[in-house]
A and B are shown apart, each in its own frame.
Chain A
Amino acid sequence: MAEIIQEEKGKDGKKKTKKHPPHIDMTPMVDLMCLLIVFFMLTTAFSKAKIMEIVLPEKLKDPNQEAPKISASRTQNIILGPYNKIYTYPGTVKPENFNNLPPLRETDFSDSGIRQILLGWNRTLFKKIDDFNQQVISGKIVISQDSVRGAISQLKKVDDTGPIVLIKAYKEANYGNFVDILDEMNICGIAIFMFVDITWYEEDMVEAAVGVASTATASSN
């Protein structure tokens, strides 16, 4: 358009030098940039995925090597069951008790479920860790961020009151349950937890518990 106006003036015979620079229409450029920005915003992964570390116990390759002994009084078993249920029982099952299996306590993944149970087992240690964190936050202990983690792991190391949690998965559990229970361990500050294979009698116990639960609901209906 600028050119047309200039031509008309030329016809009039007035030679007027233009003062202002020619105007460039930016609209198509803006359109293009809008498109590119929208494209990049949609394809960008802003939040990077996080990782949770887990170390599994080494498989025993030598048949003469015995599995490490743990005290039965501190042992707590957690079995991931079907339908997002969790079953727990304390201690171990001795071979002479195979006909008389201990009852399972049923719970779920909610805040009032497994977390309460875990904190109940781990109260002393959790309180220590929490006190320590509070002191760091309030400034009573001046310590670098890296040392905080080390200090907490030291607290966990020297602790001998918390439970030894054995996590087992029934075959109908899913991967989400597995990650959730490990996450609960981290939230509740459990010092010693292990993921181990489920035994046949524990499978029986879960089946019995599930069976009881299903017949109970059927009879109540």
Chain B
Amino acid sequence: MPKIKLPTKSPRIDMTPMVDLFSVVLIFLMLTTTMRQPEPSIVDTPFSISEKPTPDFNMMTFLISNDGKVYMNFDNGPDTLLQYRPKILQEMGKRYGIEFTPEELRTFEKYKSSLGVPIMQMKEFLNAKNSKARDELQVGIPLDSADNQLGMWILYARQVNPAIQACLKGDAKAEFPVVKKVLDILQERNVNRFNLITSLESAKINLEEIQQ
């Protein structure tokens, strides 16, 4: 009886369907993704039952960190065609007697994350070589009555873009006096409507339970 020769080759797996599937998933993810912006400090937002999504544009966000620093950002994510970020910085520069070069304005326009830099250090911040040097300059926007730069930012942001809305993104552990101060500064500039950025949670009330 002749010996049956067994094939020594290992079976080849056809990877083509796998590649197809992966391409579909990859394209889906690439199209739906909105990159999570790294914030200068980690903020745990409180929870609420509100289901209104955050607007994509026409907003200025105030980031209040755990240690009481205040950062500011205009239009999270993609900047609109109006390009008002450099205009706001130019106005701020005029107010404080700082001339910004076109390159610096462009860096400011491209910078996606929140800013907590006093205007005096803004030039240094925009020309910084790496993110480590930048992080060291992020000390929070001054907001005491002697040097109320936050108020100025709000003023020029609203001048450049009258439709801008105020959003507050605070850490749940942030101390209330800091939040109150930001609210007061906003109210001084006649902003009385705020959006508080929260994470979603659900709440259920059992009416029978409470009527006992």
Binding site for B on A (CB under 8 A): 23, 25-27, 29-30, 33-34, 36-37, 40-41, 43-45, 47-59, 80, 115-116, 119-120, 123, 126-127, 130, 169-180, 182-183, 186-188
B103 at the binding interface (Cβ < 8 Å): no
Smallest CB gap from A28: residue in B: B15
Q: Which residues of B contact A172 (CB under 8 A)?
A: 175-176
Report the separation of the CA atoms of residues A76 and B200 in the bound assembly, to the nearest whole angstrom. Answer: 28
CB pair B194–A175 under 8 Å, yes or no, is: no
Binding site for A on B (CB under 8 A): 12, 14-16, 18-19, 22-23, 25-26, 29-30, 32-36, 45-55, 64, 167, 169-177, 179-180, 183, 187-188, 190, 192-200, 203, 205, 207, 210-211
Closest A-B pairs by Cβ, 10 of them: A176-B172, A26-B15, A40-B29, A33-B22, A179-B46, A51-B195, A175-B170, A52-B50, A175-B174, A183-B48
Report the separation of the CA atoms of residues A30 and B14 in the bound assembly, to the nearest whole angstrom. Answer: 11
Q: Which residues of B contact A116 (CB under 8 A)?
A: 210
Report the separation of the CA atoms of residues A43 and B64 in the bound assembly, to the nearest whole angstrom. Answer: 23
* B35 contact from A41, A43, A187, Cβ within 8 A: A43
CB pair B53–A48 under 8 Å, yes or no, is: yes
* A27 contact from B15, B50, B203, Cβ within 8 A: B15
Nearest Cβ in chain A — how far from B76, in angstroms?
A: 9
CB pair B198–A174 under 8 Å, yes or no, is: no
CB pair A23–B192 under 8 Å, yes or no, is: no
